Chains A and B, each alone.
Chain A
Amino acid sequence: MSADAAELRALTQEFLAAHPPASTPREEFLRARFDAGLAWVHYPQGLGGLDAPRSLQAVVDAELTAAGAPDNDPRRNGIGLGMAAPTILRYGTEEQKKRFLKPLWTGEEVWCQLFSEPGAGSDLAALGTRAVLDGGTWTVDGQKVWTSGAHNARFAILIARTEPDVPKHKGITYFVCDMTDPGVDVRPLRQITGEAEFNEVFLTGVKIPDAHRLGEIGDGWKVAQTTLNNERVAIGGARIPREGGLIGLAAKTWRERPELRTQDLHQRLVKLWVEAEVARLTGERTRQQLVAGQPGPEGAGMKLGFARLNQEISGLEVELLGEEGLLYDDWTLRRPELVDFEGREAGYRYLRAKGNSIEGGTSEILLNIVAERVLGLPPEPRTDKDVAWKDLSR
């Protein structure tokens, strides 16, 4: 079945009538919404969707928002929703899809991403965490790092080395790791903001059943591409109003605090306002292209622009505050559930924004991707392509 906008609107109305948001408990409502296929309408029936065009999700969301329906707090499970789900949908077995997608979507099970390692960041394919198969079970040993939200996560997407004797991209396999299993040790890693949003994760003799492998043995790099591509498009998809995001906070301070104004700050603020507005238009244009079924490469650049703008605006904001900019709201070590730019003060925004050009691929790596995949410029010569992983220098 494929539904058009009117049908979907009617379906959503019917659903709302059967499950009035005011009197239905939140989790019950979310589970029912998943079962009705209104979670992500472009997914298959039975898996939270209706096989409908992706663009129609907006129709459903608008109806639900208008009715005051609870949402699934997507920011709390960004990795699950944005990365794990599309990867499971594409590469998972039927059992895996049935087991994982629903509690992932409702937020009952939060996910994290065990990709980066101390020796494998930008060069992710160099990773050394080992997974060895014996009978139907893998044994995993290694160390992961910078793992956001591991302390809240029930499951992780994990990539590990299963064949050390072949070139690095070829010997990787992709797994779902149960974070409650013995041998998984999550240790807070304190950040420059004072809080510990990410972690080190030590994996010692962790047993993963072969049924929790995603994709073929040795195909993990290919599977990871799905995850990483989704990671990068996840940003920039939403429609934001003019002055949405950090520029709005800076503009508000400017308007309310005339005593802080200087010529230099004015020049810089207006320039950033222009750039933020243009970035917003580019996001809007990208969204319109998707809806029109003509996706362009524009999305590839959104994360780059977003990172730079967040950093420049938050830097300006601290300066604008002058004396107050010398203060910080709270250095207590906390274990937050999500990154909250707007709930904290300027100093936090300034420091946290520094991660925007590192997390999810550094700006340098993204510029390489734009240059090679969008502009078609030749790759750098590579020395690691035909060498077995075990023979690479580390």
Chain B
Amino acid sequence: MSHQPDLLYTEEEEALRSAVRDLLADHCDAATVQTRAESDEPHDRALWKNLAESMGLAGLLVPEERGGQGATHREAAVVLEELGRAVAPVPYLTSAVVATEALLACEGEEAATLLAALASGRTVGALAVPLSDRAPRDEWGVRADAAALTGAVTGVADAAAADVFLVPTADGLFAVDAGAPGVTVTPQTSLDRTRPLAAVAFDGAAGRLLAPTAAPAVRRALRAGAGLLVSEQLGLSEWLLTETVRYTRERNQFNRPVGSFQALKHRLAQLWLETVNLKAAARGAADALAAGSEDADIAVAVAQAYAAPVAVHAAEEALQLHGGIGMTWEHPIHLYLKRAKADSIALGTAGRHREELAELVELWAP
């Protein structure tokens, strides 16, 4: 293995983390997220403006000469940890990571303009594939006649917030404005309302060609998305563990804190171990992506195969150990459970990533 990963956080990364965390503490508490998720405007546009425009975080993965911040996946991962910790309803993963990575794989004027627009945060982009996709498809749901697109895709994450769709077809990757004639976005009732899904239909909508073949861009986008989703899952898990430790220390039953019962302590210690491991896996994936290492495919598959079960386990344990309050609409745990469960399907399930890994490391199936 050529690349020795740096698994720590740099001082700059820690500074970035506190800046994002401070912003989220002021603008994105659980109650706000909850209220917003129930409204017709599930995305927090004001928060997005702060993160993307004021702090310049939408352009982290874009080189400076292309209109971005010229940072790397390591920094983007730190942002996602904090967004995960707050289950923030912003299209960061979908626009600043997945759509941005797709554009980074494209050449030409059209892609360059769009990339700079996404990097500035003033335009939100979404790759028009189902959130559950892990790799490019053999057949796309949308076809292009000349540059007129027709077809439909369901389960597109954050589509309702998007200004522009990047649409893979057999004839290449196209950009289509969300407001263009012939484009219909129909919100779907989603398990995770903080990252809502929508169906996107194209009926002869005007597309601008970004790349003559869609697969390379889609592959790159989904790989980066999967690799950085792990950091979101880490943020979720850390919040859940911290809150549950706090709660079980304070909650008394049988004349003592429930957290002093060994049956619970061992479960929480176990969860801590998993979270510590998840942190190493998340850093490993982010660093491999940042370094453009040959090892990135393996690092991402390993991290994804590990992350989803841990985040879901953290949420399920948190709910159980909070007792009745954990089951309520009022308490934020359900926001985390829904996000963690949705994340376990997003960009490929753990099982799909294990299948891919088995091929990569030559542990062939029977």
Residues of A within 8 A of B136 (CB): none
Closest residue on chain B to residue A301 by CB atoms:
B273
Residues of A within 8 A of B5 (CB): 281, 284
Residues of B within 8 A of A372 (CB): 265
With A368-B266, A380-B260, A381-B260 given, name 12 new contacts (CB 8 A): A251-B363, A254-B363, A255-B364, A278-B277, A288-B7, A305-B273, A367-B266, A368-B265, A371-B266, A375-B265, A375-B268, A377-B257
- Segment of A4-12, A180-188, A263-271 engaged in the interface with chain B: A263-271
B362 at the interface (CB under 8 A from A): yes
In the complex, the answer to whether A367 meets B270 with C-beta atoms within 8 Å is yes
Q: How far is the CB of B251 from chain A (nearest CB, A)?
A: 11
A46 at the interface (CB under 8 A from B): no
Bound-complex Cα distance A294 to B280 (A): 15
Residues of B within 8 A of A304 (CB): 273
1/0 per residue B260-302: CB within 8 Å of A?
A: 1110111011101100111111011000000000000000001
B325 at the interface (CB under 8 A from A): no
In the complex, the answer to whether A255 meets B363 with C-beta atoms within 8 Å is yes
- Segment of B86-94, B126-134, B232-240, B353-361 engaged in the interface with chain A: B353-361
Bound-complex Cα distance A270 to B357 (A): 8
In the complex, the answer to whether B265 meets A377 with C-beta atoms within 8 Å is yes
List 21 contacting pairs A-B, 8 Å CB cutoff, sorted by A: A255-B364, A270-B357, A274-B302, A275-B277, A281-B280, A281-B283, A282-B276, A285-B280, A285-B283, A367-B265, A367-B266, A368-B265, A370-B269, A371-B265, A371-B268, A372-B265, A375-B265, A376-B245, A377-B259, A378-B260, A379-B260
Residues of B within 8 A of A195 (CB): none
A146 at the interface (CB under 8 A from B): no
In the complex, the answer to whether B365 meets A266 with C-beta atoms within 8 Å is yes
In the complex, the answer to whether B284 meets A368 with C-beta atoms within 8 Å is no
Q: How far is the CB of B239 from chain A (nearest CB, A)?
A: 14
1/0 per residue B3-23: CB within 8 Å of A?
A: 001111000000000000000
Q: How far is the CB of A99 from chain B (nearest CB, A)?
A: 40
Q: What is the number of contacts between chain A and chain B, taking CB atoms within 8 Å?
A: 127
A119 at the interface (CB under 8 A from B): no
A238 at the interface (CB under 8 A from B): no
Residue among B6, B305, B354 making CB contact with A288, cutoff 8 Å: B6
Bound-complex Cα distance A301 to B273 (A): 6
Residue among A242, A278, A374 making CB contact with B306, cutoff 8 Å: A278
In the complex, the answer to whether B7 meets A278 with C-beta atoms within 8 Å is no
Residues of B within 8 A of A258 (CB): 364, 366
B256 at the interface (CB under 8 A from A): yes
Bound-complex Cα distance A379 to B358 (A): 43
A298 at the interface (CB under 8 A from B): yes
Bound-complex Cα distance A296 to B364 (A): 37
A261 at the interface (CB under 8 A from B): yes
Bound-complex Cα distance A263 to B7 (A): 34
Residues of A within 8 A of B266 (CB): 364, 367-368, 371
In the complex, the answer to whether A282 meets B280 with C-beta atoms within 8 Å is yes
Bound-complex Cα distance A376 to B264 (A): 13
In the complex, the answer to whether B269 meets A284 with C-beta atoms within 8 Å is no
A111 at the interface (CB under 8 A from B): no
1/0 per residue B336-366: CB within 8 Å of A?
A: 0000000000000000001101100111111
A292 at the interface (CB under 8 A from B): yes
CB-based closest 8 A-B pairs:
A371-B265, A261-B366, A281-B280, A378-B260, A370-B269, A285-B7, A282-B280, A367-B269
1/0 per residue A345-375: CB within 8 Å of B?
A: 0000000000000000000100110111011
Residues of B within 8 A of A279 (CB): 277
Give A contacts to B, CB under 8 Å: 241-242, 251, 254-255, 258, 261-263, 266-267, 269-271, 273-275, 277-279, 281-282, 284-285, 288-289, 292, 294, 298, 301, 304-305, 364, 367-368, 370-372, 374-381
Give B contacts to A, CB under 8 Å: 1, 5-8, 245, 248-249, 256-257, 259-262, 264-266, 268-270, 272-273, 276-281, 283-284, 302-303, 305-306, 354-355, 357-358, 361-366
Residues of A within 8 A of B268 (CB): 371, 375, 377
Bound-complex Cα distance A266 to B249 (A): 41
Residues of A within 8 A of B277 (CB): 275, 278-279, 281-282, 305
Q: Count chain B CB atoms within 10 A of each CB in A242, A270, A368 and give the residue with the most.
A: A270
Q: How far is the CB of A260 from chain B (nearest CB, A)?
A: 9
Residues of B within 8 A of A288 (CB): 6-8
In the complex, the answer to whether B357 meets A273 with C-beta atoms within 8 Å is yes
Closest residue on chain A to residue B354 by CB atoms:
A270
Q: Count chain B CB atoms within 10 A of each CB in A289, A292, A378 and give the residue with the most.
A: A378
Q: Count chain A CB atoms within 10 A of each CB in B6, B266, B280, B362 and give the residue with the most.
A: B280
Residues of B within 8 A of A301 (CB): 272-273, 276
Bound-complex Cα distance A275 to B5 (A): 17
Q: How far is the CB of B322 from chain A (nearest CB, A)?
A: 15
Bound-complex Cα distance A270 to B365 (A): 10
Residues of B within 8 A of A273 (CB): 357, 361, 363
Residues of B within 8 A of A374 (CB): 269, 272
Q: A261-B366, A273-B357, A292-B8 are in contact. Are A375 and B269 (CB under 8 A)?
A: yes
Bound-complex Cα distance A375 to B272 (A): 8
Residues of B within 8 A of A294 (CB): 8
Closest residue on chain B to residue A287 by CB atoms:
B7
Q: A266-B363, A304-B273, A380-B262 are in contact. Are A277 and B8 (CB under 8 A)?
A: no
Bound-complex Cα distance A352 to B273 (A): 24
Q: How far is the CB of A295 from chain B (nearest CB, A)?
A: 12
Q: How far is the CB of B284 from chain A (nearest CB, A)?
A: 5
Closest residue on chain B to residue A377 by CB atoms:
B259
In the complex, the answer to whether B284 meets A377 with C-beta atoms within 8 Å is no
Residues of A within 8 A of B354 (CB): 267, 270-271, 274
Q: How far is the CB of A275 from chain B (nearest CB, A)?
A: 7
Bound-complex Cα distance A381 to B357 (A): 47
Bound-complex Cα distance A118 to B361 (A): 47
Closest residue on chain B to residue A243 by CB atoms:
B361
Residues of B within 8 A of A241 (CB): 1
In the complex, the answer to whether A263 meets B366 with C-beta atoms within 8 Å is yes
Residues of B within 8 A of A375 (CB): 245, 265, 268-269, 272
Closest residue on chain B to residue A304 by CB atoms:
B273
In the complex, the answer to whether A370 meets B357 with C-beta atoms within 8 Å is no
Bound-complex Cα distance A305 to B271 (A): 12
